[in-house]
Amino acid sequence: MISKLKEIYRFKYLAYNLVSRDLKVKYKGSILGFFWSLLNPLVMLIVYTLAFKYIIRIRVENFPIFFLCAFLPWSFLSSSLSMSVGSIKDNANLVKKVYFSREVLPLSIVLSNLIQFLLTFIILIPALLFFKIKLGIPLAAVPLIILFQTAFTIGLAYIVSSLNVFFSDVKHLLEILLQVWFWLTPIIYPANFVPERYQFLYRLNPAVLFVESYRDSLLYNKMPSISSFIALFIIGFVVLTIGHLVFTLYNKRFAEEI
């Protein structure tokens, strides 16, 4: 495991290149540049606010903020996964002809999405101030939650990208699963809307805990409980470990199956 990490670390400059290329390609040549990546959550914000606050009339205080605190981390997760699922297969030429730590491929996608996620705080923080949300010490929990979510995301990215090499349906399946997962996560509604008798089942979805922890510390000025932290830590690193094992196992046959 340690030597593997060292080997991945050897290719840090490759990861850096892939991330910066990804960001450059994304924003180069467009007038709005980086603001495109802010525009998407903004449009979503407007659409969902209109739909849920004014049409469906969901009764949630500060709906736009309530939505953003969950939607931004969710976008980090879902776009990381939908972009990394093809990362090995799309680089067939490299995988077949050059030796390098292939972990770098999904890893760099997650990292570039992480950077974009962090940049969206540029709109989140002013929005919090605009809605006069009380901010306090619980904000300090946010970096930790982000860390655990990143571990969780990397683990899943490892799994989907390596499975996709062997089964091309994984990509399509993932699209559907992400849709389902979106609605099963309290992004546009609070978790307590779910009937009491389904709560246990509902909370098996790890994203619920992530989203609630973000909301607690950003919106409700409430420190997540120690048990939530421990749970998030375990979820993040167990998934990362499983992902790593799956990836290492399948990695051996990448070059011939791709």
Residues found near other proteins in the complex (CB under 8 A)? 10-14, 16-17, 21, 93-100, 166-170, 173, 251-253, 255-257
Which CB, 20 or 179, lies closer to other proteins? 20
Nearer Cβ to other proteins (14/133): 14
**Least distance in angstroms from the C-beta of 172 to other proteins:** 10
Residue 117 CB, nearest approach to other proteins (Å): 24
* Alpha carbon separation from 177 to 70, 180, 227 (Å, rounded): 18, 5, 28
Smaller CB separation from other proteins, 17 or 179: 17
The CA-atom distances, in angstroms, between 42 and each of 39, 65, 131, 138, 218 are: 5, 11, 15, 25, 18
d(CA 71, CA 80): 14
Work out how close the CB of 254 gets to other proteins at its nearest, in angstroms, rounded to a whole number: 9
Residue 223: which of 158, 135, 161 has the closest Cα? 135
Give least dist CB 10 to other proteins, A: 5
Q: Minimal distance in Å, beta carbon 16 to other proteins?
A: 8
DSSP assignment, residue 52?
I
Of 92 and 242, nearer to other proteins (C-beta) is 92
Q: Which residue number, 132 or 252, has a Cβ lying nearer to other proteins?
A: 252
Cβ burial 140-161 (10 Å sphere, 16+ → b, else e): ebbeebbebbbbbbbbbbbbbb
> Which two tokens mark 155?
């683990």
